[in-house]
Chains A and B, each alone.
Chain A
Amino acid sequence: MRERVRSLKSRLVTTMALLFLAGTVVMYLAARAYGLRAADLSYDRLLAGSALSIAETLSVDGARVRVDIPYAALDMLSAAPEDKVFYRVFGPGAQTVTGYEDLPTMPAARSRREEPSELPAPRFFDATYRGDVVRFVVLGRQIAQPGQRGWVWVQVGQTRQAREELAGELVLGALLPIALLTLLALGLAWFGVARALRPLGTISADLAAREPADLQPMTVPVPAEVQPMVQAMNGFMRRLEGNLASLRSFIGDAAHQIRTPLAGLRAQAQLALDEDDPGEMRRGLVKIERNAARLTRLVNQLLSDAMVMHRADARRFEEFDLVDVVKRAMRDAVPMTGDVPVGFISSVARAPMRGDAVLLGEAIKNLIDNAIRHGSPESLGQDAEVEVALHEAAGSYALTVSDRGPGIPAGDRKRIFDRFERGSTQSPGAGLGMAIVARVAASHGGTVELEERDGGGLVVRLVLGSVQ
Chain B
Amino acid sequence: MNRWCCLALLFALSPALAKEYPAHGAPEGTITLYSTLDTGVFEPLVVDFQRTHPGIAVRYENLDATPQYERFVREETAGTHRADVLISTSMDLQVKLVNDGYAARHVSPSAAALPAWARWRNEAFGFTFEPAVMVFNRAAMQGRVVPQSRAELIDQIRKDPAFWRGRIGTYDISKSSVGYLLASQDVRLSSEFGALVEAFGDIDLQVEEHTATLLKRIEAGELVAGYNLLGSYARARPGSDRNFLLVYPRDHTLVVARTVVISKNAPNPALAHKFLEYLLSVQGQRVMAAQSGLPPIRKELDGVYERLGVDESQIGVLRPISLGPGLLVYLDPAKRRQMLDAWRAILGGTR
Q: Are B99 and A67 in contact (CB under 8 A)?
A: no
Q: Assuming the A-B contacts A75-B324, A84-B121, are A70 and B329 also in contact, with contact meaning beta carbons closer than 8 angstroms in the complex?
A: yes
Among B98, B116, B121, B333, chain A packs the most CB atoms within 10 A around the CB of B121
Instruction: Please count how many residues in chain A sit with their CB below 8 Å of the partner chain's CB atoms.
Output: 25
A78 touches B324 (CB 8 A): yes
Contact call B326/A75, Cβ cutoff below 8 A: yes
| Distance of B40 from chain A, by nearest CB (Å) | 36
Residues of A within 8 A of B333 (CB): 98
Q: Does A81 contact B (CB under 8 A)?
A: yes
- Asked if residues A74 and B325 are in contact (CB atoms below 8 Å), the reply is yes
Minimum C-beta distance from A86 to chain B (A): 7
A453 shortest CB reach to chain B, Å: 112
Say whether A115 faces chain B, with CB atoms less than 8 Å apart.
no
User: Are B325 and A68 in contact, with the CB atoms below 8 A?
Assistant: no
Once the chains bind, are A67 and B334 in contact (CB under 8 Å)?
Answer: yes
A217–chain B nearest beta-carbon distance, Å? 75
Query: What chain A residues lie within 8 Å of B326 (beta carbons)?
Result: 71-72, 74-75, 78
State whether the Cβ of A27 lies closer than 8 Å to any Cβ in chain B: no
Assess whether A85 is in contact with B332, with CB atoms less than 8 Å apart: no
A84-B325 CB under 8 A given contacts A67-B334, A68-B338, A97-B334: yes
- Hey, which chain B residues are within 8 Å of A360, CB to CB? none
CB pair B334 A84 closer than 8 Å: no
Does chain A have a CB within 8 A of B328? yes
Given A82-B120, A84-B98, A84-B99, answer yes or no on A69-B335 (Cβ-Cβ < 8 Å).
yes
Q: Contact mask B322-351 → A, CB, 8 Å, 1/0?
A: 101110111011110010000000000000
Find out whether the CB atom of B334 lies under 8 angstroms from the CB atom of A85: no
Q: How far is the CA of A254 from the CA of B101 in the complex (A)?
A: 107
A85-B338 contact given A71-B188, A98-B333, A130-B101, CB 8 Å threshold = no
Distance in angstroms between the alpha carbons of A409 and B167 in the assembled complex = 153
Say whether B100 faces chain A, with CB atoms less than 8 Å apart: yes
Count class of interface residues, chain B: 20 to 34
Assuming A82-B120, A86-B99, is B324 touching A69 (CB within 8 A)? no
Contacts of B332 in A (CB 8 A): 69, 98-99
Residues of B within 8 A of A98 (CB): 332-335
Chain A stretch 130-172: residues in CB contact (< 8 A) with chain B: 130-132
Contact of B121 among A73, A82, A89, A97 (CB under 8 A): A82
Q: Chain B residues with Cβ under 8 A from A99's Cβ? A: 332
Choose among A70, A81, A83, A132 the residue with the greatest number of B CB atoms under 10 Å from its CB. Answer: A81
What chain B residues lie within 8 Å of A67 (beta carbons)?
Answer: 334
Proximity string of chain B (169-190) to chain A, C-beta cutoff 8 Å, 1 when within and 0 when not: 0000000000000000000100
Contact status A85-B101, CB under 8 Å: no
Distance, CA A67 to CA B336, complexed state (A): 11
Q: Mark A368-389, 1 if CB is under 8 A from B, else 0.
A: 0000000000000000000000
What is the minimal beta-carbon distance from B56 to any residue of chain A, in angstroms? 29
**In the assembly, what is the distance between CA of A75 and CA of B188, in Å?**
11
Expressed in whole angstroms, the Cα–Cα distance for A71 and B327 within the complex equals 8
Binary flags per residue of A54-76, CB closer than 8 Å to B gives 1, else 0: 00000000000011111111110
Contacts of A86 in B (CB 8 A): 99
A68 near B335: Cβ-Cβ < 8 Å: yes
A residues in contact with B330, CB < 8 Å: 71
With an 8 A cutoff between CB atoms, is A77 at the interface?
yes
A77 CA to B326 CA, complexed, in Å: 8
Residue contacts A-B, CB under 8 angstroms, 15 given: A67-B334, A68-B334, A69-B332, A69-B335, A73-B329, A74-B328, A75-B325, A78-B325, A82-B121, A84-B99, A84-B325, A85-B328, A98-B332, A99-B332, A131-B101
Instruction: Give 7 closest A-B pairs by Cβ, nearest first.
Output: A75-B326, A85-B325, A98-B334, A130-B101, A78-B324, A74-B325, A84-B99
